[in-house]
A = this chain, B = another copy of it.
Amino acid sequence: MAHDHIERTARRTKEASRLVERLEGETKDAVLRSLAKSLEQRAPEILAANAADLDAACADGLPDAKLRRLELTGASLARMSEGVRQIAAMPDPVNQITRAWDVPSGLHVERVRAPLGVIMMIYEARPGVTIDAFSLCFKAGNACLLKGGREANRSNEALASIARGALAKHGAPADAVSLITTSDRDAIRHLLTLADDIDLVIPRGGESLIRFVHEHSRIPTVQHFQGVCHIYVDASADVDHAVDLCVTAKTSAPATCNAVECILVHNAIAGAFAPMLLARCKTDGVELRADERFRALASGCTPATEADWGHEFLDLILAARVVDSIDDAMTHIARYGSNHTESILTNDPAHAERFCREVTSSCVLVNASTRFNDGFQLGLGAEIGISTSRVHWYGPMGLEGLTTERFVVRGSGQKR
């Protein structure tokens, strides 16, 4: 019975996607602007639903960090609304011609951007994601199925209902967004088999959620595994600036996937770098877990264990290690990295080029913080996640990552 309901929802969403893919850009933008306005005008109703979610979550003993992610405020609704307006203002990716060429038979070939169809997002109890995900998927011409953490069900229902209202107001199908509120694992597993009606699954959240989806999905998924980001401080780096950049890349947002987790420093400057990094970490409340060579230069670090390499701390903790060359740094990254983000700080152009060429993480930076691996910071306008798997999309996914390209070919009667 639950399966029937879920199948019907997926089928309705697929049918809606066929209409959404043909909507004019102007219609889509009008829907998004109406949505932005309603998020402001109907804030009391959204906040009331959110308060009910928060009360229930408190009673269930949800940890503080999760409560903070669940909570909406007037300010967070205003930011949400502004985000939707920014997406409305972006150019329509659908029907963009990305490339065109002629072939000897006289055919003119174009690559034309097209929506994917139905995108299913599975995420935790963060109601902001509901609006972000819908806005991006819809702007890219897709319909979406949203399955958020159950603690946010009331908030998500309020938000989705507002989005459906904005769709209906402009003659777009309300089923362009559907909420899945069941948390029955059986039902979710069943959803993940509906490959005829769902084109792409994007899990966003903890590793166990992503592994669950990976294990059970018959539908293509974009993986967003952990971010074990490294900064390699080369022999030629400016030590003062490197210390500042490294610590800021942790403290500015310790629990995000693009925060740095491990600093690798060349032995030629480790003598100057290590004690300064430790001092700065102490000032900023960061625990520094270092290998023996690093600790010999900066006493007072926690000894690092094997488990600290390749670990995503998501907290005010940094691992650090002395290496003898850029090769050793790249070997460490190849062994312990997660293909998310790595950065080199250097004044040696040859080393910068080698690092960019040989480290093939989704984003590789020279002389910049790992925290710039972010759709907004890299100019994509928005982001639905950061893919660490190479198929379909690798790195921060904006509108383009939610589309495909098809071939459109114009001839003059060529037969074959």
Contacts and interface: CB of A to CB of B under 8 A. Distances in A.
Contacts of A103: 377-379
A248 B415 contact: yes
13 contacts: A101-B379, A105-B377, A112-B356, A116-B390, A214-B218, A220-B221, A245-B415, A363-B407, A368-B415, A371-B416, A391-B392, A394-B405, A395-B405
Interface in A207-251: 214-215, 218, 220-221, 238, 241, 244-245, 248-249
B195 A372 contact: no
A366 interface: yes
- Copies of this chain in its oligomeric complex: 2
Sort A-B residue pairs by CB-CB distance and give the 10 closest, nearest first: A368-B411, A220-B391, A363-B407, A390-B404, A392-B392, A245-B415, A368-B414, A371-B416, A103-B379, A365-B409
Interface in A355-372: 356-358, 360-369, 371-372
Interface of A: 18, 21-22, 95, 101, 103, 105, 107, 109, 112, 114, 116-117, 195, 199-200, 214-215, 218, 220-221, 238, 241, 244-245, 248-249, 252, 334, 345, 352, 356-358, 360-369, 371-373, 377-379, 389-396, 404-416
Given A114-B390, A396-B407, 17 more contacts: A101-B379, A103-B379, A107-B372, A107-B378, A116-B390, A199-B391, A220-B220, A220-B389, A248-B416, A364-B408, A369-B415, A373-B407, A373-B409, A377-B416, A378-B409, A392-B392, A394-B406
Contacts of A371: 416
Nearest to A391: B220
Nearest to A358: B22
B364 A407 contact: yes
Nearest to A394: B404
B362 A406 contact: yes
Contacts of A117: 390
A208 to B, nearest CB: 16
Contact of A391 (B107, B112, B248, B404): B404
A414 B220 contact: no
Contact of A378 (B95, B109, B364): B109
A394 B114 contact: yes
A371 B1 CA distance: 46
Contacts of A416: 248-249, 252, 369, 371-372, 377
Contacts of A245: 413, 415
A390 B215 contact: no
A357 B410 CA distance: 13
A178 to B, nearest CB: 20
A372 B411 contact: yes
Nearest to A357: B95
A316 B345 CA distance: 65
